Structures are given as structure tokens and as C-alpha cells.
Structure 1
């Protein structure tokens, strides 16, 4: 009979809220509990599919957690698997190495947590002999590759390697246990269950090498539907991998083009239409949308000035759609070119002054850049992508930030001037 298991990683159980935009208390509650719900979905899948094992390739926790509520919740879910005769194989990732719960929690005997030295656990499956290879992080940092420390494949067995690694590196991720994908394919293992990079990837080659991504996104930088791998190894040792949805809330960027729109109600209707279209494409139960308003419209000044009212309009329509939430509005609309002020217009003169005499000053730009760098330093590595992946990208981000600030100020002044006229 085949050997079947679920492969996941980077659950980051009870990860704290990471988006300052989640001011809606109901949305904050939904996202705050989403990693727990994802773990429940994973356990439910294991039970429904009657798999032989669950493999967790690191970062089950989210750092230096001490909450015994988290510990009790995790123990209760693993107990469900234990009672069903499903084994659990866990390696510790860089976040797990920080967690006190990792060291103190007593888990069911069917749970194997690999130590800091490479280990092999052999078991006789339903007709297949299976060897699980694993190795945990003992410290939050792992600058050296771990593959040379793994034991050799067990002859005549299905060999499954579990590793937490940044591979050759990925944007937004620090280097952890670097490894070459080609070396994994050449190592003689049938399946590599990887973890650490939050984007799902199937690394094609002679063997099956899967980075499953995370089962639940936590902010807009972890957008899209999130899944785990359901793996079936047949008697002839052929391997089939299926993606199974686990995310409860799905972050998505939604673009709304308002070019030519002149009425407020039409802008709100365009937002609703864009949300409806994205809702239909969203696989997860909940959609969390970041709206990006673009185009040339006579409403540009009013939208920038009354962004809070437009946010309320969007939230009202998201409630009407159901299971749809607004995380944030990004305003990039512009007034029609024909209606933009001339240099005789005092607001236009102020805009030009800000661009030339203030934003153009190197000391002002350096000060803003330093503020952004300080903010990035306080964020986890995987949440820093928004400011660019290199110096050129960072410079473009700063340019855009300063330009939008100028437009926001002049838009509010122009809108106020028009309302008074």
C-alpha cells in the first residue's frame, strides 16, 4: 500500500499582527487567529485523508513565545493525530530555536522532534519501508549549509529529507542553512520536505523537492491562497503531490481604475465591481484586499482629501459582498491633465516649490531615507520587500514616497480651494 503524508512548514503559530493597517477590530481578530485555524485545517486534512504522517519542516512557532495557551492548543491538535495513529515529524527552524515552548512542551509519543544532530527514523509503512531524515536548528542563526551533515540514504527504503533552508537565497529572507537545489536532487533522497521560504515552489529535477510555502498569509506581503502538500508515494516509489488549500484569509492587491470617473457614487461602484471580481477569484473563505486607486479623474483632489470617506464606502460594499475586508487604500489617482493648474496657480506654485526646493534637497531626502531604514530594521526580514530588494529599488521607493506626499498635500489644498469657491 502507498505511504501518504502531508508536508507543511512556516505555520508561525500565533504570530502577532504585523500590519499597522488592520485597525478594524473584527479584521484584526480574524487575522490574529488565522494561523491557529490553518493548523486546524491541516490536522483536519490529515484525518480526512487518513494519511500516515504529518511533516512540519520548521517554524511551527513564531519566536520567543511563552504563552501556555499556544502550548495547550498545539498539544490538543497533535493529540487528535496521535489518537488517529498518525505520526508527526518536526524539525525546528530559526523561529522555533527562539521559542521556550519548544523546549518545555510535552507532546504525544507519536510526535518526533529532530535534534540538532542529523537523525534518521525508520519505520515500516503499509508495504513500504520509510526513512525520515531530519535536523533542527539549535540557534536562530545557521550560516552554514546542513546537507553534508545529513546521513546517507537508507538502502531499499523510501528516503524523505526534512530541511529548513533558504536554499540559494530569496528576496525578503535572510540566509539560513544555504543549499544548492542541484545538490538536493543528487543526494539520493526520494523526497525533500523543505521549509523557510514563504512562497510555494516545486523545484523540478531528478527527485521531488518541494518548498510548500506557508499555510496562512499574515499580511499583504504574503498575498495569495496558501496551501500544503498532500504526498502519495506508491508501491513502485512513484510520487504524486497535490496542493490542498489551508488559508482562511487571503490577502490580495486589487487595482481599481477610475479614469474618466466624475461622480463619487461611480467611483464607489467601480470599487465594488473590482472587489466582486476578486472575490470570485479568491479560493480562501475570506478576502482581505488592499485597494489601489489609479487613473485620471476629476475626483482626484476629493478622493485624496476625503480618503477616510472613500475607505468607509469601500468597507460598506465589502460587507455587502460578504467575507471581504479592506486592509488599506492606496491612492494614485491624478486630476485630468487639462484641469491641472498653471504656474500662476498658487497651489501649483507650492507644489513646484516642494518638488524643487524641498524634496530636491539631499539632506531632506537623506533624513527620510534614514527614517525608512529605521522602520525596516524593526520589521521581520520577510516583511521588508515593499521598500525594494536592492539600493535601486529602495531609491525608487523613496522617490515614490516623496512624490505621493507632495500630491497629497497639494490635492488637499486644491480641494479646499475649490470647495470654498
Structure 2
């Protein structure tokens, strides 16, 4: 029984600008800056190696109106590789693609179908006796698509296997803007065999009489898009049976790496623990490179040394990462505290006495909270509304923000007042 095989990808965001100011390492910035192109080459290579019939790209191939002619040439070269192998390509424009003039003006091989702003369906060329395959799609005509596109699709062709491409914020996915919203239930009752979706950057699948697949983006761009990234290799038999095969293609994999510094008393012990955590994370990674956001926490006598010498610790972490190989430090965060004194009142440590005074008589006072709120309010007023809502969504959130900033502030002061050697001893 013959099979129709295709690769489904979406949200490649070619030449997406760097989204994290923390990518200050030139080598890391270059890696992430070029990763989208390298991953697209990998997707084309996968199509060629698997000898598939088609590549389906479900929107946001580009990242917006900044796309250059150099990017256009790159894309054309890759699509010509598929054309030479007899592999069809089907593309819909997403919200980012709709901003790009190149998307509309680029001359592509005849084997490439870019669906327009009106629903269309294209029949695949198949051998005599094989079940017909129809590919349906509709592109965003404008960057905004607040209403569902579902009802605009042509009905499934009777007797055929129908495959649809759609760029959608499926089921109102949290954290994503609303674009061409529709429900899983709508798609499941459509009569299509497979929906090739795009827009949401995390993978999800729903199998059944209608397979509904959001492949996620094939390459993360920051820590918010962590984990291995993939495309979907699909095989559909003439009887309608279908198999899905996730294929990881990401060059670089963002991950959070937690390091527990509890009880550590020597700097070299902390450095060794960071190296161990990075090594374990690297072993678990499914991509060529690991890009780590390292979070050091716990109660340790090194707490103030860590806070004061955070840049030195990051340099140490980068050195250990380099020794492991293909491991990068995107950011290093610290949230360490000095171990609690059993009876603070009996402590003769002048810094501990100062800490208690600051905590009880200054930070704990009403006058301090009044002044702190004025300062924080002034800072929040300078931020965009969406950023303010994230930091302080309500009065409770504002109080928590002020408390957190106050605690961090006086810990920073104490850290600067405390001299320590590399092993944490004052």
C-alpha cells in the first residue's frame, strides 16, 4: 500500500533578531543569530534524506518586514534543492510573513505553492490507482487576524485524503496573541485527515480520525523557548492510517540549570558544582549546543561573596562550560542567603548586627515602605503598560515587588561591606 509522506514545520522565523540582551557573548550571539538558517537547511536535508513527497510550512517562515534580499536568496536556493528532487512545497503566510514584502514578490520554483488570502486546495500528483491527496490552505492577508479562518476553508474533497494548513492561536493558547482563533473541536469535525498548524511555539499533537499537530518552532530563540525543537515527519497510507514521527532539528537548546549551593564554604566547590550541573544538562540535551541559564541558590556562607562577585562567577561558569564543549552561558542568576543565625540576639558579628538593624528598624518601618513605594511607582511609570502588569499586576503584586527589591537591596549593601577571599572567608 503506497504512502504519502511529508514533513510539517512552522514558525521558522528566518533571521529573527536576537531577543535576549543577555546574549552578550559574541560567539553565542552568532550561534543563535545564524541558527534559524542552519535549521532550515536541516529541514530540507531531512526531506531529501527521507525522500518525502512534500514539505508543509504552516506560517511565519520569516520574522517580519526586516527580511533582506540575502534571506530571500537563501530561501530560494533551499527550495530549489527540493524542486530538483521532485519534492513539492506548500506555504501559508502567518502574521509575521504578512509584514514582509519579499514573501509576496519572491519568484519561487513552480513546485512551490504559496496560498493566498483566499482559501484554495491543490491536488497532489499521484500514481494511477492511488488515493487522491488534497492540500488546503489560506494565508494571512494582513498581520492581524482576530477572527477565525476555519469557516473560510473549502470543504474536504470526497473520497480523498484532505490535509489542511492553518496558522492559528488554537484554543486561545495562553501567552500567545489571538490570531485566527479556532478550537480543536472545530478541526476534529472538519472531515480532514490532518491539520498542519503553526503559530504556537510549543509542540502539541492530538491523534484520532483527524490528526491535529502543532509542531512548535524548530529552533528556540531565548530561554522562554527552551527545550529541544522539532518538526514532524508524517506518513499517510491510502486507507487513511497515519503515523507521526517527531524529528529534533534544533541546533541550540535553551535550558534552565539549577545549582544548589547549600552548605558550600569554598569558591572552588561552587565552581565544581556548577560544572557538574552543566555537564549533566549537556548529557540530557538533544541538540548540538546547550545554552544554559544557570540559577545558583541556597543557604551558604558564600552568599555575600557570590552576590558581590557575580561577574567573576559567571566568568568561572563560562570557563567550565567551554571545557565541557558546546555549552554556553546565556545568563547566571543568584539567589543565595547567608545561613540563619541560631540566636541573632547573641551574635557578635558586626555585619549580622547591621543586617538585623536594617531588617527590623529600617526596611521594616512604615516610613521606608512609603518612600520605597514612591520610588518603585516612579520606575514603573516609565515602563510600557504590559511590562508594568507583569511586574505588579495588582496591589498585592506591588507589595511583593517592593519587598523583594528591598531584601535584595540590603543584601547587596551587606555583600559590598563584607570583604572575603576566594574561599569565602572574611
TM-score scaled by structure 2?
A: 0.90
The number of residue pairs the alignment matches comes to: 413
Note closer, same or farther for the CA distance 1:395–1:134 as it changes in structure 2 (3 Å cut).
farther
Match among 144, 150, 154 for residue 147 of structure 2: 144
Pair 1:270-2:273 in alignment = yes
Note the aligned Cα RMSD (angstroms): 2.6
Q: Does 1:253 align with 2:221?
A: no
Q: Secondary structure at the match of 1:337?
A: coil
**2:391–2:401: 8 Å Cα contact kept in structure 1?**
no
Partner of 1:398: 401
- Do structure 1's residue 369 and structure 2's residue 377 form an aligned pair? no
Change (3 A) 1:214 1:396: farther
Alignment of 1:272-291 (within 5 A): 272-291=275-294
Asked if the contact 2:363–2:406 (Cα under 8 Å) also holds between the matched residues in 1, the reply is no
Say if 2:373 and 2:402, in contact at 8 Å, map to a contact too.
Answer: no
* Separation (CA, whole Å) in 1 of partners of 2:173 and 2:410: 34
CA deviation after TM superposition for structure 1 residue 315, in Å: 0.5
CA contact (8 A) 1:231 1:239 kept: yes
- 1:198 matched to 2:206? The reply is no
Confirm or deny that 1:80 pairs with 2:81: yes
Structure 1 residues 170, 401: closer, same or farther in 2, change over 3 A? farther
Specify the SS of the correspondent of 2:341. Answer: helix
Counterpart among 351, 358, 366 of residue 350 in structure 1: 358
Residue 168 of structure 1 and its aligned partner are, at CA, apart by 2.0
Offset at residue 411 of structure 1 (A): 4.0
After the TM superposition, which of the residue ranges 406-415 and 73-82 deviates more from structure 2?
Answer: 406-415
Which stretch of structure 1 is more off in the superposition, 390-399 or 217-226? 390-399
After superposing the two structures, state which structure 1 stretch, 121-130 or 253-262, moved more.
121-130
Q: What per-residue deviation string (whole Å, max 9, x for no partner) do you get for residues 17-67 of structure 1?
A: 010001100000000000001101100000000000000000000011241
Q: 1:58-103, CA deviations, whole angstroms, 9 ceiling, x for partnerless residues?
A: 0000011241111111111111101110000000000000012112
Q: Which runs of 5+ in 1 are unaligned?
A: 378-383
Match of 1:380 in 2: none
Unaligned runs of 5+ in 2: 346-350
Kindly indicate whether the alpha-carbon contact (under 8 Å) linking 2:392 and 2:398 is maintained by their aligned counterparts in 1: no
Pair 1:64-2:65 in alignment:
yes
What is the distance in 2 between the residues matched to 1:388 and 1:209?
A: 35
Structure number, greater radius of gyration:
2
SS of aligned partner of 1:124: coil
Q: Structure 1 pair 393/18, CA: closer, same or farther in 2 (3 Å)?
A: farther
What whole-Å deviation, never above 9, does each CA across 1:283-304 have from its counterpart, x for those lacking one?
Answer: 0000000000011000000000
Q: Is the 8 A contact 1:305 1:408 kept in 2?
A: no
CA–CA separation in structure 1 for the residues paired with 2:293 and 2:73: 34
Tell me the residue number matched to 1:48. 49
Superposed CA offset, 1:212-250 (max 9, x none): 100000000000000000000012110100000110000
Counterpart of 1:109? 110
- Shift in alpha-carbon separation, 1:389–1:369, aligned structure 2, 3 A: closer
- Residue of structure 1 in register with 2:123 after alignment: 122
Does structure 2 conserve the Cα–Cα contact (< 8 Å) formed by 1:91 and 1:163?
yes
Q: How far is the alpha carbon of 1:169 from its aligned partner?
A: 1.5
**CA apart distance, 1:207:** 1.1
Q: Which residue of 235, 244, 247 maps to 2:247?
A: 244
SS of aligned partner of 2:294: strand
Q: CA–CA distance in 2 between the matches of 1:420 and 1:9?
A: 53
Query: Could you tell me which residue of structure 2 aligns to residue 38 of structure 1?
Result: 39
2-side partners of 1:198 and 1:265: how far apart?
39
After superposing the two structures, state which structure 1 stretch, 389-398 or 353-362, moved more: 389-398
With normalisation by structure 1, the TM-score equals 0.91
Over 3 Å counting, the alpha-carbon distance change for 1:354 and 1:63 in structure 2 is farther
Q: Distance in 2 between matches of 1:176 and 1:397?
A: 33
Q: Deviations over 1:165-195 (max 9, x none)?
A: 0012122211000101101000100000000
Match in the other structure for 2:348: none
Q: Deviations over 1:250-305 (max 9, x none)?
A: 00000000100000000000000100110110000000000000110000000000
Shift of 1:345: 2.5
Range with greater deviation from structure 2 (393-402 or 162-171): 393-402
SS class of match (1:345): helix
d(CA) in 1 for partners of 2:199, 2:84: 29
Indicate how the Cα distance of structure 1 residues 82 and 404 shifts in structure 2: closer, same or farther if over 3 A, else same. farther
